[in-house]
């Protein structure tokens, strides 16, 4: 098994059957060897640096109905809110003072956030904080919209493909959503010059190892700058409420595999990972992650951005998350990097 890890590290290229063995391998010794290699590769490119992204959750309204998600349209128990432009600018201001140089505007697919509203908002954030990057995570939009937002100053876009298997995609997303459109959006974003992030959930209902291999293969084809993965976590008001959450160790193996396959990618230790285990994010950092995304949303709305049960950091102020994460990063021997943290040139 260690030979497969070495092969993956030296060339990034292994067969589907080798990937399957690695993904399914339960041996703690192999997991440790994989972790050690992932950490070495990450240190080769990024040293001990961990990049901070300030997450601002701008809206819990969503027109989609993804079966796994707590803010799906049909969940009538979901608490809906949207932040005003003033509130969003306030979060960015607060974040800037705390040392953030990237702001991630994330939300459900909410028709209220038109291009007419978003473009001046993005320009204003960039005017006030010219040394910062703006990342958007607002779902599927038209090519024209993505172009206008880019012209207004948006630098990056996060849009997970969620799963690269057509059939599984259909089991997780009712029509009119389609994997085809999701992929089209991702390629459009790349074409428009965004730094693009994609990714998938681990342990979502019906998922097999073959599906995970398809996710890795799709990412090899897309070549995103950033890759976000996290365990699926059930939400009480969804059809998947009684399903098991994704496994910690499987997620960690996949993170390490991603680091070896994509040596220079920016890979976050996600909030979902921190939710399934108290030290989940620290373990993520030790398995190749080099980004964390503390929450900058106003505490008054945090519980309402309720994607899955038990989400951490819903009671803490931005400053508290900032300090908490810095301590966590230091506790495993890494250091906070205060800079925009753009993707370094990929896949040379």
Query: What residues make contact with ligand 5AD under the rule CB under 6 A?
Result: 68-69, 160, 162, 201, 230, 232-233, 235, 272, 307-308
Binding of ligand FES by 124 (CB under 6 A): no
Residue 276 binding ligand FES, by CB under 6 A:
no
Q: Which residues pair with 52 in a beta bridge?
A: 292
Residue 86 to residue 312: CA distance in whole angstroms: 26
> Does residue 326 belong to the site contacting ligand FES (CB under 6 A)?
no
By CB under 6 A, which span of 49-57, 112-120, 244-252, 314-322 interacts with ligand FES? 314-322
Q: From CA 327, how far away is CA 120, in angstroms rounded?
A: 36
Rule CB under 6 A: say whether 252 interacts with ligand FES.
Answer: no
Distance, CA of 273 to CA of 252 (rounded, Å): 9
d(CA 39, CA 25): 19
Q: Is 316 in the site for ligand FES (CB under 6 A)?
A: yes
Nearest to residue 338, comparing CAs of 38, 40, 131? 131
Contact 56, 100 (CB under 8 A): no
> Minimal CA–CA distance to 125: which of 83, 148, 96?
96
Least CB distance to ligand 5AD at residue 271 (A):
9
Site string for ligand FES, 283-302 (x = CB under 6 A): -----------x--------
CB 87 within 8 A of CB 297: no
Shorter beta-carbon distance to ligand 5AD: residue 90 or 205: 205
Measured from the CB atom, the residue of 171 and 324 that comes closer to ligand FES is 324
Considering the complex, what minimum distance in angstroms separates the CB of residue 39 from ligand FES? 22
| C-alpha separations of 95 from 49, 54, 123, 132, 208 in Å | 19, 7, 17, 11, 39
CA distance 34 to 277: 20
Q: Cβ closer to ligand 5AD: 123 or 178?
A: 178
Kindly state whether residue 30 participates in binding ligand FES, applying the rule CB under 6 A: no
| Contact residues: ligand FES, CB under 6 A | 294, 313, 316, 320-321, 324-325
């Amino acid at each position: 098994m260690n030979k497969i890890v070495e092969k993956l590290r030296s060339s990034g290229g292994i067969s589907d059957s080798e990937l399957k063995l690695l993904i399914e391998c339960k041996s703690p010794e192999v997991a440790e060897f994989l972790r050690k290699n992932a950490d070495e590769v990450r240190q080769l490119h990024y040293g001990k640096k961990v990049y901070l992204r300030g997450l601002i959750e701008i809206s819990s309204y969503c027109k989609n109905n993804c079966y796994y998600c707590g803010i799906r349209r049909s969940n009538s128990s979901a608490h809906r809110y949207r932040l005003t432009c003033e509130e969003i600018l306030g979060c960015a201001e607060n974040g800037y003072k705390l040392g953030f140089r990237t702001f991630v505007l994330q939300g459900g697919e909410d028709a209220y956030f038109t291009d007419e509203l978003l473009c001046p908002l993005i320009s204003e954030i960039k005017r006030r904080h010219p040394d910062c990057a703006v990342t958007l995570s607002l779902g599927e939009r038209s090519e024209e919209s993505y172009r206008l937002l880019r012209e207004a100053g948006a630098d990056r876009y996060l849009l997970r493909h969620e799963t690269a298997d057509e059939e599984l995609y259909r089991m997780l997303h009712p029509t009119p959503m389609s994997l085809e459109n999701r992929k089209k959006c991702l390629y459009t974003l790349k074409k428009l010059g965004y730094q693009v992030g994609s990714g998938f959930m681990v342990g979502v209902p019906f998922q097999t190892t073959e599906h995970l291999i398809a996710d890795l293969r799709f990412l090899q084809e897309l070549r995103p700058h950033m890759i976000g993965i996290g365990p699926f976590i059930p939400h009480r008001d969804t059809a998947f409420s009684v399903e098991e959450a994704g496994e910690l160790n499987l997620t960690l193996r996949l993170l390490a595999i991603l680091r070896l396959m994509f040596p220079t990618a920016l890979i976050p230790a996600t909030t979902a990972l921190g939710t399934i285990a108290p030290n989940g994010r620290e373990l993520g950092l030790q398995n190749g992650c080099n980004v964390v995304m503390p929450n900058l949303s106003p505490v008054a709305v945090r519980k309402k951005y309720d994607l899955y049960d038990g989400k951490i950091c819903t009671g803490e102020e931005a400053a508290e998350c900032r300090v908490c994460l810095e301590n966590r990063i230091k506790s495993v021997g890494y250091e906070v990097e205060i800079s925009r943290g753009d993707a370094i040139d990929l896949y040379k």
